[in-house]
Amino acid sequence: MTDVAPVLFLSHGAPPLADHPTWTRELRDWGARLGRPASVLMVSAHWENAPVTVSSTTPHTPLLYDFYGFPQRYYEVTYDAPAAPGLARAVAGALGGEVHQDPHRGLDHGAYVPLAELFPDADVPVLQLSLPTLDPARLVELGRRLAPLREDGVLIVGSGFTTHNLRWFGGLAADPDAAPPTASAEFDAWAAETVAAGDLDALVDFARVAPAAREAHPRTEHWAPLYVALGAAAASGVAGASVVDGFWYGLSKRSWQFA
């Protein structure tokens, strides 16, 4: 990995996505191409908290199994990545000290599920950052303020889902590779085209201009991490390269790398 780290937005999935051989292979290959970053700053759809808050910097803080109704084996997954107190200090510096810390907060599944595939040796320090708002413009600005961390090899990752309507999810007995609903396909196609074009204005205004926006995201928390990634990438360009595509239980897995 170069000294200036890229920025990622990835669709992390529920824990069973880690059983899908295509997705796991795609993320393993992606991680191998990335190389080993100095550390990872993860912004997950599953942690909304204002003011901006960072996760525990104490080693061996337990994971947060923030889901229910799945087989027991999903609650026995471990990912004991090193703590990142230095990154926590750097984040506070980048944001002017406007950062709280939750000493008990471990990584949630939006963080550890994809990280276990990207960096399976769990040897990269990881810090998680909360979403203080779902407002796209404010999240882009948050990402811009975090962007200098990239110069120290910090991989900034927004972890959400390109479409996220759980009414489309038919349960684990359904076919995960079935054709997606029209709304999911339409929004995915728009997102692919708009990110490839680097059209930040359209992305920020997605609720008005994107097809099927309300169906694809009845609530926008799984789309919101993209804006932190876009802000962090803005100086080097927000035209992202689509690394993962396709659908899982009707949800778009599309994921991008910026710069």
CB 66 within 8 A of CB 109: yes
Distance CA 57, CA 105 (A): 9
| Residue 151, both tokens | 């110069």
Average pLDDT, the chain: 94
Residue 12 scores a pLDDT above 60 = yes
Q: pLDDT band for 172, please (50, 70, 90 cuts).
A: low
Is residue 187 one of the residues assigned to a domain? yes
**Residue corresponding to tokens 């910026």:** 258
Residue 168 scores a pLDDT above 50 = yes
Q: What separation in angstroms does the CA of 252 have from each of 56, 147, 233?
A: 31, 27, 22
Distance CA 95, CA 118 (A): 27
Residue 71 scores a pLDDT above 90 = no
Distance CA 60, CA 46 (A): 20
HSE at residue 186, side-chain half, CA atoms within 13 A, is: 13
DSSP 221: T
pLDDT in tens, 81-132: 999 999 999 999 999 978 999 999 999 999 999 999 999 999 999 999 999 9
Reported in sequence order, the residue ranges of 183-253 that DSSP labels E, i.e. its strands, are 241-244, 247-248, 251-252
Is residue 1 one of the residues assigned to a domain? no
For 38-52, what is the mean pLDDT?
97
Q: What is the pTM of this model?
A: 0.95
Is residue 108 one of the residues assigned to a domain? yes
Please classify residue 142 by burial: count the beta carbons closer than 10 Å to its beta carbon, then call 0-12 exposed, 13-18 middle and 19+ buried: buried
Nearest by Cα to 257 from 156, 185, 115, 160:
156
Domain count for the chain = 1
Nearest by Cα to 121 from 24, 36, 23, 16:
36
Is residue 151 one of the residues assigned to a domain? yes
Q: Which residues contact 25 (CB under 8 A, 6 or more apart)?
A: none
pLDDT at 170 (0 to 100): 66
For 190-212, what is the mean pLDDT?
97
Which of 57-61, 78-82, 124-128, 236-240 shows the lowest per-residue confidence on average (mean pLDDT)?
A: 236-240
For 54-74, what is the mean pLDDT?
92
pLDDT at 1 (0 to 100): 47
Is residue 129 one of the residues assigned to a domain? yes
Is residue 182 one of the residues assigned to a domain? yes
Please classify residue 157 by burial: count the beta carbons closer than 10 Å to its beta carbon, then call 0-12 exposed, 13-18 middle and 19+ buried: buried
Residue 176 scores a pLDDT above 90 = no
Assign residue 84 the CATH number of its domain: 3.40.830.10
- As a whole-number percent, the residues of the chain with pLDDT over 90 amount to 84
Is residue 173 one of the residues assigned to a domain? yes
pLDDT at 129 (0 to 100): 98
Q: pLDDT band for 253, please (50, 70, 90 cuts).
A: very high
pLDDT at 171 (0 to 100): 60
Q: What are the backbone dihedrals phi and psi of residue 66, each rounded to the nearest 5 degrees, phi first?
A: -90, 60
ω before 59 within 30° of 0 (cis)? no
Where in the sequence is the domain holding 207, given as residue range(s)?
A: 7-258
Distance CA 80, CA 225 (A): 23
Distance CA 98, CA 88 (A): 12
Is residue 2 one of the residues assigned to a domain? no
